[in-house]
Amino acid sequence: MATPGDFTSLPVIDISPLFGADTAAKRRVVEALGETARTIGFLYVTGHGMAPGLFDDLLAAAKEFFARPVDEKMQVYIGKSSNHRGYVPVGEEVIYGGVPDQKEAFDLSQDLPADDVDYLAGNPMLGPNQWPSLPGFKERVGAYYDGVMQVGRTLLRAFAEALGQDQSLFDSYVTKPPSQLRLVHYPFSPNAPGNAFGISPHTDMECFTLLRVTAPGLEVMNGKGDWIDVPPLENAFVVNIGDMLEVWTNGQFVATSHRVRKVKEERYSFPLFFNVDYDTVVAPLPCFTGEEPSKYRPVKAGEHLFAVTAQGFVYLQKRVAAGEIALPEGASGTHEFGQHARHADQARA
Ligand SMILES: O=C(O)CCC(=O)C(=O)O
Ligand SMILES: [Fe+2]
């Protein structure tokens, strides 16, 4: 398991040179990305080229949706879907220690057609989205999804280069990835138990995450076990390394633990979890192990996502208990990654 250093704030990296012709400037960005991915695993990204209107529209759509009555939102309840899409009510997610997270969400991913072969074959993460019947919702959320995935592809290539490899190293694994976008609403709930989290300590399960938020609340654990505040920065993404890039790089890049405590004001957040194709077997690549032994066992990217998800969502726990679905063989536990597992006391402090 990789460990980050003792950072106390996150660097801000302007990635605009990645889209230009100045190779020296591009090289500097790539090196800064690599250095940060190795020592912190978290950073702010500016200069990403995404029009601000896409985020404004996403936020407006999310506010409109979450303001609807619960029974209307439950018409697209995630438990009605076979591929993990739709509305996640407060209390549905229990990641850590049994106290439900204080948040509601709307989960979507690449919107595949209903005749997609993997969907028809029962893949638990691939297929069509469940859209609410709010006018303009699908269009606004879909436009943001497409935009943020573009930025993600650019970052994937930059990370490959930062690892000293050809920028196309990971490209062939990204054809139909279960890259989820979550619209998350943390209501202001002063009466929730003091030890309730907005989101419990965890690492993200994919390659990396591109996050936009509307208010402070996110905290990231450094190498000493201290929680560092990550407030929002105007028009910037918070980007963090996930489990798959940690495994592929044999721990060179670090999937860093983070959490959101009980919020002090109403808050919205929008993580896009950039993933690789469901069946991609992710194991330390020979170019990163060298003489060293491999520190991680191979995992399938989609199975890792599904296994951890199935252990954290009540509707999936019930399906597993009823024998309707099974966890993948040798399924990952919920806390194999992240230094919070080794700092369990601080994790709940
Ligand atoms: O809301 C946030 O700031 C972070 C959310 C998060 O870590 C997640 O959804 O994985
Ligand atoms: Fe996260």
Residue with the two structure tokens 């469901």? 278
Token pair for 114: 């209903």
The candidate with the shortest Cα–Cα distance to 129, out of 92, 76, 176, is 76
Polymer length in residues for the chain: 349
Predicted confidence at residue 96, as pLDDT, reads: 58
Ligand 1 nearest-atom number relative to CA 238? 3
For residue 101, the 8-state DSSP code is: P
Domains of the chain, earliest start first = 12-348 (2.60.120.330)
Cβ-proximal residues to 197 (8 Å cutoff; 6+ apart), any chain:
96, 99, 101, 102, 259, 260, 261, 262
Q: Helix H segments across the chain? A: 23-39, 52-66, 70-73, 117-120, 137-162, 243-248, 286-289, 301-312, 314-321, 344-347
**Ligand 1: residue whose CA is nearest its atom 8:** 271
- Cα Rg of the chain, angstroms: 19
Tell me the Ramachandran region of residue 86: left when phi exceeds 0, alpha when psi lies from -120 to 50, beta otherwise: left
d(CA 175, CA 309): 22
Interface predicted TM-score (ipTM) of this complex, two decimals: 0.99
Predicted confidence at residue 334, as pLDDT, reads: 57
Q: Which residues of 70-84 are buried (b: 16+ CB within 10 A; e: fewer)?
A: eeebeebbbbebebb
**Ligand 1: residue whose CA is nearest its atom 4:** 218
Predicted confidence at residue 349, as pLDDT, reads: 43
Ligand 1 geometric centre to CA of 38 (Å): 21
Ligand 2 geometric centre to CA of 198 (Å): 11
Predicted confidence at residue 344, as pLDDT, reads: 56
Predicted confidence at residue 341, as pLDDT, reads: 65
Helix 52-66 vs helix 137-162: angle between axes, to the nearest 10 degrees? 130
Per-residue pLDDT of the chain (349 residues; tens, 9 = 90+): 678 888 999 999 999 999 999 999 999 999 999 999 999 999 999 999 999 999 999 999 999 999 999 999 999 999 999 999 999 999 898 765 566 778 899 999 999 999 999 999 999 999 999 999 999 999 999 999 999 999 999 999 999 999 999 999 999 999 999 999 999 999 988 887 777 788 888 999 999 999 999 999 999 999 999 999 999 999 999 999 999 999 999 999 999 999 998 888 999 999 999 999 999 999 999 888 888 888 899 999 999 999 999 988 999 999 999 999 998 887 766 556 777 766 654 444 4
Beta bridge partners of 104: 185
Phi/psi for 112 (5° steps) reads: -80, 155
d(CA 41, CA 39): 6
